[in-house]
Amino acid sequence: MTDEILAKYDLVIGLEIHAQLQTNSKIFSSDPASFGAGPNEHTSIISVGLPGTLPKINEKVVAYAVKMGWATNCRINKYNRFDRKNYFYADLPKGYQITQDEIPVCQAGYITIRLKDKTEKDIRINRIHMEEDAGKSMHDKDSRYSLIDLNRAGVPLIEIVSEPDLRSAEEAAAYMSEIRKLVRYLNICDGNMEEGSLRCDANISVRPKGSPEYGARCEVKNLNSIRNLQRAINYEFKRQVKLVEQGEHIDQNTLNFDAATGVTSVLRSKEMANDYRYFPEPDLPPMQLSEEWIQQLKSELPELPEQRIKRYSEEFSLSHYDASLLTSDRAVADFFEELAGQTPYYKAAANWINGPLQSYVNENGKDFSILQPYVKSIAEIIALVESSKINNTAAVQQLFPALVSGNGKSSVSELVHELNLIIDTDHSELTGFIDSAVAKFPDKVTEYHKGKKGVLGLFMGEIMKISKGKIDPKTANKLLVEKLESLK
């Protein structure tokens, strides 16, 4: 499929994102909602759907849904109700799902995404509704039977349904990232796509460029990573364009995406709304939310990522890029603010967090809480580097590792002297390092004089090697240039 052919078509995407809420109990019963128990241990007569049992709404689920509505600029419906969605799955114990259809808790919102070219775009949100999860079918545990685990049945979900405003895999990835960031900031979902606590279904269609009419859409189910979301979208775009170009009909199917092959396949023909036979849930009365409670939930919202990005730009004079990296995770942003309270070098603090500190956290498989005891010490290291008392490379590669490996038992000042990292300010030792490097590469001196300024990097590398990093690079570079110019 050539780029010229693909350019004739618009890609149209809408996402349905299911977020599993972090409540202690399920949405309509007191059964534990936690992950990791043995099969069918977190069940009761309500979870398994025995006749005569009645659901009761978990108030925290409603609160979490309203908070997500506020965070996504939605209208909060004071009056809303639950409905029955009828379909048969072996792991859906009642034979229907309790969800919200005509009157969801939140409607008509939007979030703003920012793309790589720095353009911004508002993506409309059609609705956010509450519902219960189904159980889990396992087909690889027994050679003869499929097994059912109902621990997940009744676990609370919110479904965030976008309008078909997304036009590329990049936009879809940016939107998904923003939703994941928001649920984590609100602390209502851990956002772990690999474990299924955040899942995404993508509705994908194509239409001739400029056409106002939408094409037949296919829904790709249960995409469990942002990378797979992008892969599935790109594959479907090409597949559907090829069918249209060949004059074939696109069947409105529900699809599976195989991450190993990067190919979609048909799961079943796409159900329509009337196939589900929605009707109001008779065992749950409609909910009437008070304005006072809705406003109270709004007042409990934390400072959200976009608000923090704006404040970091104004208060700490950080670029949008740096502020975006810092606010991509709430724990990281909280750590930055604590560190910023200990140092006036905000840009340096951002560089340390986005660089060596993030690497340390990643390598140790933890989060930034493991660096909490070292905030003051890290601020001291930053001050030493910014005042040119120690070299940044030495600080990153020697001083910081020594600090954390010793569990902070030695102070920064003690470690600096133990490791002999203080830069010689009279430049006598540095001059000797420069002389040695220049003498080692006389041919490169000639190249420098012929205009090849790139050889400065080679000289600086040699000086860093000889000095074991115990120099100020800016001073060394200045003295090196002076030395080379004197040899003309």
pTM comes to 0.82
| Token pair 């600029």 in the structure block, residue | 73
Take residue 248 and report the two structure tokens written for it.
Answer: 């074939």
Burial string for 227-246 (b: 16+ CB within 10 Å, else e) reads ebbbbbbebbbebbbeebee
pLDDT at site 149? 87
pLDDT at site 27? 94
Architecture of domain 428-486: Orthogonal Bundle (1.10)
Over the stretch 381-436, which tens digit does the pLDDT of each residue have? 999 888 888 888 888 888 888 888 877 677 888 888 888 777 766 666 677 777 77
Could you tell me which of 349, 414, 433 has the C-alpha nearest to residue 385?
A: 349
pLDDT at site 1? 67
pLDDT at site 185? 93
Contact between residue 74 and residue 129 where contact means Cβ atoms under 8 Å apart: no
Take residue 116 and report the two structure tokens written for it.
Answer: 């790589």
Looking at the predicted structure, is the pLDDT value of residue 488 above 70? no
Take residue 369 and report the two structure tokens written for it.
Answer: 């809480």
Instruction: Give residue 21's pLDDT band: very low, low, confident or very high (50, 70, 90).
Output: very high
- The partner residues of 255 in beta bridges, in order of sequence, read 220, 266
Over the stretch 263-319, which tens digit does the pLDDT of each residue have? 888 877 655 556 788 899 999 999 999 999 999 999 999 999 999 999 999 999 999
Question: What average pLDDT does the segment 461-478 reach?
Answer: 73
pLDDT at site 426? 61
Looking at the predicted structure, is the pLDDT value of residue 473 above 90? no
- In the chain, pLDDT over 90 holds for what percent of residues? 44
Report domain extents, the chain: 3-294, 303-418, 428-486
